[in-house]
Protein backbone atom coordinates (compact mmCIF):
# COMPACT_ATOMS: atom_id res chain seq x y z
CA UNK A 1 0.00 0.00 0.00
CA UNK A 2 2.89 2.37 0.75
CA UNK A 3 4.33 1.83 -2.72
CA UNK A 4 1.07 2.83 -4.36
CA UNK A 5 0.83 6.05 -2.32
CA UNK A 6 4.47 6.91 -3.05
CA UNK A 7 3.95 6.22 -6.74
CA UNK A 8 0.81 8.39 -6.71
CA UNK A 9 2.65 11.25 -5.03
CA UNK A 10 5.55 11.07 -7.48
CA UNK A 11 3.10 11.06 -10.38
CA UNK A 12 1.37 14.09 -8.84
CA UNK A 13 4.67 15.98 -8.51
CA UNK A 14 5.81 15.11 -12.03
CA UNK A 15 2.41 15.96 -13.50
CA UNK A 16 2.14 19.31 -11.75
CA UNK A 17 5.76 20.07 -12.62
CA UNK A 18 5.09 19.32 -16.27
CA UNK A 19 2.04 21.62 -16.27
CA UNK A 20 4.04 24.38 -14.58
CA UNK A 21 6.87 24.10 -17.12
CA UNK A 22 4.40 24.00 -20.03
CA UNK A 23 2.49 27.07 -18.85
CA UNK A 24 5.72 28.98 -18.22
CA UNK A 25 6.94 28.20 -21.73
CA UNK A 26 3.55 29.20 -23.12
CA UNK A 27 3.71 32.60 -21.39
CA UNK A 28 7.28 33.18 -22.59
CA UNK A 29 6.37 32.22 -26.17
CA UNK A 30 3.28 34.44 -26.18
CA UNK A 31 5.20 37.41 -24.77
CA UNK A 32 7.98 36.93 -27.31
CA UNK A 33 5.53 36.74 -30.22
CA UNK A 34 3.75 39.86 -28.96
CA UNK A 35 7.02 41.81 -28.81
CA UNK A 36 7.98 40.65 -32.30
CA UNK A 37 4.60 41.67 -33.72
CA UNK A 38 4.73 45.08 -32.04
CA UNK A 39 8.11 45.72 -33.71
CA UNK A 40 6.81 44.64 -37.10
CA UNK A 41 3.50 46.48 -36.94
CA UNK A 42 2.83 48.98 -34.13
CA UNK A 43 -0.62 49.37 -32.60
CA UNK A 44 -3.06 51.40 -34.73
CA UNK A 45 -3.87 54.92 -33.61
CA UNK A 46 -7.55 55.78 -33.23
CA UNK A 47 -9.01 58.05 -35.88
CA UNK A 48 -9.87 61.53 -34.68
CA UNK A 49 -13.41 62.85 -35.10
CA UNK A 50 -13.70 66.14 -36.93
CA UNK A 51 -15.90 68.67 -35.09
CA UNK A 52 -17.76 69.77 -38.25
CA UNK A 53 -19.14 66.35 -39.17
CA UNK A 54 -22.50 67.06 -37.56
CA UNK A 55 -22.84 63.80 -35.65
CA UNK A 56 -25.10 65.30 -32.99
CA UNK A 57 -27.75 66.50 -35.44
CA UNK A 58 -27.64 63.22 -37.38
CA UNK A 59 -28.21 61.09 -34.29
CA UNK A 60 -31.00 63.24 -32.82
CA UNK A 61 -33.85 61.81 -34.96
CA UNK A 62 -32.70 58.29 -34.10
CA UNK A 63 -32.77 59.22 -30.41
CA UNK A 64 -36.32 60.52 -30.71
CA UNK A 65 -37.44 57.31 -32.37
CA UNK A 66 -35.68 55.27 -29.71
CA UNK A 67 -37.39 57.24 -26.91
CA UNK A 68 -40.78 56.74 -28.57
CA UNK A 69 -40.24 52.98 -28.95
CA UNK A 70 -39.05 52.63 -25.36
CA UNK A 71 -42.00 54.64 -24.04
CA UNK A 72 -44.46 52.46 -25.95
CA UNK A 73 -42.79 49.30 -24.65
CA UNK A 74 -42.96 50.52 -21.04
CA UNK A 75 -46.64 51.46 -21.41
CA UNK A 76 -47.44 48.02 -22.87
CA UNK A 77 -45.49 46.27 -20.11
CA UNK A 78 -47.30 48.21 -17.41
CA UNK A 79 -50.68 47.61 -19.05
CA UNK A 80 -50.01 43.86 -19.31
CA UNK A 81 -48.80 43.72 -15.73
CA UNK A 82 -51.81 45.67 -14.47
CA UNK A 83 -54.24 43.28 -16.20
CA UNK A 84 -52.93 40.26 -14.27
Q: Please tell me the predicted confidence (pLDDT) of residue 82.
A: 81
Distances (CA, A) of 47 to 51, 53, 58: 13, 14, 19
Question: For the chain, which residues score pLDDT lower than 70?
Answer: 49-61, 84
Q: Please tell me the predicted confidence (pLDDT) of residue 53.
A: 54
Q: Please tell me the predicted confidence (pLDDT) of residue 84.
A: 64
CA distance 72 to 83: 17
Q: What pTM was estimated for this model as a whole?
A: 0.46
CB 42 within 8 A of CB 34: no
Amino acid sequence: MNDIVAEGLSLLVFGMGFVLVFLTLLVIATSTMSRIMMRIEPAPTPASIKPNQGTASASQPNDQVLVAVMSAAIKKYRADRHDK
